[in-house]
Amino acid sequence: MAMDIIDYKIYGTETQFVEVELDPGEAAVGEAGAMMFMEDGIVMDTVFGDGSAQQKNFWGKLVGAGKRLVTGESLFTTVFTNNGSGKRKLAFAAPYPGTLIPIHLPDVGGTLICQKDSFLCAAKGVALGIEFQRKLGVGLFGGEGFVMQRLDGDGLAFIHAGGTLYVRDLAPGEVLRVDTGCIVALTRSVSYDIQYVGGLKSALFSGEGLFFAVLQGPGKVWLQSLPLSRMANRIVMAAPAIGGRSSETGSLLGAGAAGGLLGGLLGDDE
Amino acid sequence: MSSPTLALPGRLFGPALAPAGTVVSATIDALQLVVPLPDGGQLSSPLSRLVLRNAGFDGAQLEMSWPQNVARYALLVDDAGVIERLRQQPPAALQPAITAVFAQRRKARVRRGLGLSAIAIWIGLPLFALLLLFLTARPLAGWLAGFVPLAQEQQLGEWVFKSQAAQLDLIENTAANAAIQQIGARLAPGSRYTYHWHVARQPELNAFAIPGGHIVVYSGLIQAAADADELAGVLAHEIEHVELRHSLKAMMRQAGLRLAIGIVVGDFGVAGEAAGRLSGLQFSCDSEREADVQGLARLDRAGIDPRGMLSLFAKLDAQAPGTAPPAWLASHPTTPERIAELRKLIDRRSATQLQALDIDWGAVRASIGR
């Protein structure tokens, strides 16, 4: 399958958008609502399903759309095609402060597993699917839920996550313990598991929650420094108008008694 | 066992290789693993130095890693067919490691199955309990109602009536009030309940009984009745609902179910409110039949012509033949069926002394207007 090769430029530092340049006849798919601007000559078309070329029949499209629904995306994908005669530009903007990274799928083995909602846009031909978490413990406590998004293909895809994104290459056998919720994407070769933080004291008072996510190489992982939920939580906590202090979920005491009673006195350091 | 050379297509990871792995086609034989590199070189490891584990996001890949030049290399095999072949014809030196890896897979599967079952039970048990409660709600409520003291029932009825009264357009101090009071007194002499009769302005043909003795009759029903005997039939029926504690049982059943659903499913707001409305109280067919039969006996004892009950039923049936029955009959057994049953009973009963009700029915109907 021929992928469209697109040129791009990322603007901004903390709140970014990506401008992609389409040759005549080339197309890009974008997450619904992500488009920022497009030049004359680019035609927008909304398709049912994920707009990848493999799904020709109705059922394939329906299944694709259902999968998108499970990952929390819209049922429809928007395809932007350059019907003009010269190069045309369009831009996709990130929905909240964070970092936008281009990932050339062949560089990561053709498949990328990423956090729900992190997909922003891709060259047409990249298939958007879901990857079910088969380990119950990881699904429940791993911070990413039971469903992750899966990008397949040999084109360019852009994903977005909160704060600063950090890419880490894991050597065979190398283990990295990560705060749950900070994982943005990983290659299929990386093992993803959870580990109890150990010790009642740590579980209750370390503020790290009950579990770490454990990533074991070989492979590549992308981590975000500031999950949106954490920032949202901080904003809510700082907004007296919409009521009180709350705390990040995952920490047993932090969410309950300490958040209300002790939290106010001691101050959270999260 | 002879172990032929087996092809192991996979991805090679290691120092100075692409972080996402390099596609290689390795081979394994009885002695060693050989991995040809894209640049023409080749890596190899004796089987004794290989470490096997389940790897990858879903744990479905097989990783073989070995130390080489102070670093560690790993070959990840993704192809399920290849992994299966390796399981079936393992090189002798690798057999224990492969057995261990597959034992681990089996264990993970079992653990997953157990976990899923636990989740299914966690979700299914309350639903099952709810279903059980639905099925046993009637007998359960009936049994529990037996423990409610009369004073409590009357208190409850009082409270329910007060909360409903605001929504009812009650008519007071008319000839109709006096008439149903009079009929009621005839029908329920010496009852352990104190009856309170109410007339509400409402065109529907309906009447309902609240636990403890409040009975509300809609004006539409009075207008529809041709004479006092006909209305007496319905009143006797409603009195039986109170005497037999049908209203109390139905209310307890509904409240219990609402509570149970609320606990299992969560608050369901408007629907719950609607379900709790009194006029919507559902009696079972058995309750209705019981009230019919006992009501008939009650009419007999009071010396009121039970054919009035029959003719009002017939009127209702004639008014809406085949279509939806009037509201107060909606939950009841079909009217023709009940008429037939009542007729049988009336024909069978021994003749009793009839004592006509001394009520000017025309004045009663006129008093509540059209």
Given CB atoms, is A201 within the 8 Å cutoff of chain B?
Answer: no
Q: Which of A83, A144, A90, A136 is nearest to A117 (CA)?
A: A144
Phi, psi values for residue A208, rounded to 5°: -95, 5
pLDDT tens column, B196-252: 899 988 887 878 888 888 898 888 888 888 888 888 888 898 898 888 888 888 888
Let me know whether B95 and B159 are in one domain: no
Let me know whether B217 and B339 are in one domain: yes
Let me know whether B314 and B201 are in one domain: yes
CB-CB contact of A98 with A231 (8 Å) = no
| In-domain check, residue B132 | no
Rounded Cα–Cα distance for residues B94 and B170 (Å): 90
Given CB atoms, is A175 within the 8 Å cutoff of chain B?
Answer: no
Tokens 């599967």: give the residue.
B109
The two structure tokens encoding residue B3: 């172990």
Let me know whether B94 and B166 are in one domain: no
Let me know whether B186 and B56 are in one domain: no
Surface of B (87-116) touching A: CB under 8 A: 108, 111-112, 115-116
Let me know whether B153 and B94 are in one domain: no
CA B169 to centroid of chain Cα atoms: 33
Average pLDDT of the residues in B48-75: 90
| In-domain check, residue B190 | yes
Given CB atoms, is A221 within the 8 Å cutoff of chain B?
Answer: no
DSSP state of B39: T
Model ipTM? 0.74
| In-domain check, residue B139 | no
| pLDDT computed for residue B281 by the predictor | 54
Q: Which of B102, B128, B160 is the last residue of a domain?
A: B102
End-to-end alpha-carbon separation of chain A, Å? 47
User: Does residue A260 carry a pLDDT above 50?
Assistant: no
Best of A111, A191, A221 to mutate (most B CBs within 10 Å, chain B): A191
Phi, psi values for residue B92, rounded to 5°: -50, -40
| In-domain check, residue B111 | no
Highest mean pLDDT among A84-93, A254-263, B359-368: A84-93
Q: Which of A141, A43, A38 is nearest to A90 (CA)?
A: A38
User: Does residue A69 carry a pLDDT above 90?
Assistant: no
| In-domain check, residue B211 | yes
CB within 8 Å: B59 and A135: yes
CB-CB contact of A131 with A192 (8 Å) = no
CB-CB contact of B209 with B247 (8 Å) = yes
Let me know whether B164 and B57 are in one domain: no
Nearest to B115 among A108, A136, A169 (CB): A136
pLDDT tens column, A131-169: 888 888 888 888 888 888 889 988 899 999 999 999 999
CB-CB contact of B193 with B244 (8 Å) = no
Helix, strand, or coil here: A24? coil
CB-CB contact of A168 with A113 (8 Å) = no
Let me know whether B178 and B242 are in one domain: yes
B275: CB partners within 8 A, 6+ apart: B254, B258
The two structure tokens encoding residue A244: 């009180």
| In-domain check, residue B114 | no
What percent of chain B clears pLDDT 90, i.e. is strictly above it? 20
| In-domain check, residue B124 | no
Fold of A7-224: Double-stranded beta-helix (3.60.160)
Phi, psi values for residue B268, rounded to 5°: -125, 35
What pTM, to 2 d.p., does this model score? 0.67
| Cα A202 to Cα A2, A198, A209, A268, distances in angstroms | 52, 7, 8, 15
Rounded Cα–Cα distance for residues B368 and A240 (Å): 59
A219: CB partners within 8 A, 6+ apart: A169, A170, A186, A187, A188, A189, A190, B13, B19, B20, B21
| pLDDT computed for residue A216 by the predictor | 93
Rounded Cα–Cα distance for residues A87 and A155 (Å): 19
Helix, strand, or coil here: A19? strand
B261 DSSP β-pair partners: none
CATH of the domain at B67: 2.30.29.30
Phi, psi values for residue A125, rounded to 5°: 115, -20
On chain B, the residues whose CB falls within 8 A of the CB of A107 are 18, 20
Rounded Cα–Cα distance for residues A40 and B158 (Å): 74
Given CB atoms, is B12 within the 8 Å cutoff of chain A?
Answer: no
On chain A, the residues whose CB falls within 8 A of the CB of B59 are 134-135, 191
Residues B76, B80, B81, B87: what is their CA dihedral angle, to the nearest 10 degrees?
80
Phi, psi values for residue B55, rounded to 5°: -135, 180
Q: How big is the A-B interface in CB pairs under 8 Å?
A: 78
* A226 or A239, which is more confident: A226
Residue-range definition of the domain harbouring residue B68: 6-102
| pLDDT computed for residue A251 by the predictor | 42
**Which stretch of B197-201, B259-263, B268-272 has the lowest confidence by average pLDDT?**
B268-272
Rounded Cα–Cα distance for residues A52 and A45 (Å): 13
Nearest to A172 among B14, B56, B116 (CB): B14
Helix, strand, or coil here: A215? strand
CB within 8 Å: A188 and B112: no
pLDDT tens column, B105-125: 999 999 999 989 998 998 899
CA B178 to centroid of chain Cα atoms: 43
Rounded Cα–Cα distance for residues B186 and B195 (Å): 12
What are the residue ranges of helices labelled H in A18-130? 58-70
Distance from CA of A55 to the nearest CA of B (A): 24
Given CB atoms, is B20 within the 8 Å cutoff of chain A?
Answer: yes
The domain spans of chain A are 7-224
DSSP letters for B341-352: HHHHHHHHSPP-
CB within 8 Å: B65 and A220: no
Q: Band of the pLDDT at A37, cuts 50, 70, 90? A: very high
| pLDDT computed for residue B268 by the predictor | 55
